[in-house]
Amino acid sequence: MPRPKKCRRVCGLPVCREFGPRGMGCAGEPVTMGLDEYEVIRLIDLQGMQQEQAAAQMGVARTTVQSIYNTARRKLAEALVNGRILRIEGGDVAVCEKRAHCMRGGCCAHRGCAKQKPEG
């Protein structure tokens, strides 16, 4: 029996949850990126954190962050190269309750894990 998936801490939800080519048809089904994948891209690529720092903030192992990061980058490449819509939704995450005051470097205390369901 596989080990249960550990809840990932997310400091905030994305402002825009769908991206895609403008003014042209999109090829194929949309690519869906989980909120944990979005958070890893935000922490590592935008905030400039090391994988160890991102892992500590999200409450998971560094190897988990590395795996999430690789999957997220593959999804970004799929959407960009093949002109597919990118949707950000879902996953086993705990969203920071005090995100308005969060410094996004050492996130505040997180409690519980609520599975984020896709909208619609």
pLDDT above 70 for 16:
yes
Chain length of the chain: 120
pLDDT digits (tens, 9 = 90+) for 28-77: 899 999 999 999 999 999 999 999 999 999 999 999 999 999 999 999 99
Q: Of 27-36, 86-95, 96-105, which range is least confident?
A: 96-105
pLDDT of residue 110: 41
pLDDT of residue 102: 55
Phi, psi for residue 11 in degrees, rounded to 5:
-80, -25
d(C-alpha 12, C-alpha 68), whole Å:
17
CB 71 within 8 A of CB 37: yes
pLDDT of residue 22: 81
What stretches of 1-120 adopt beta strand conformation (E)? 8-10, 18-19, 31-33, 86-88, 91-95, 114-116
Neighbours of 16 (CB within 10 A): 7
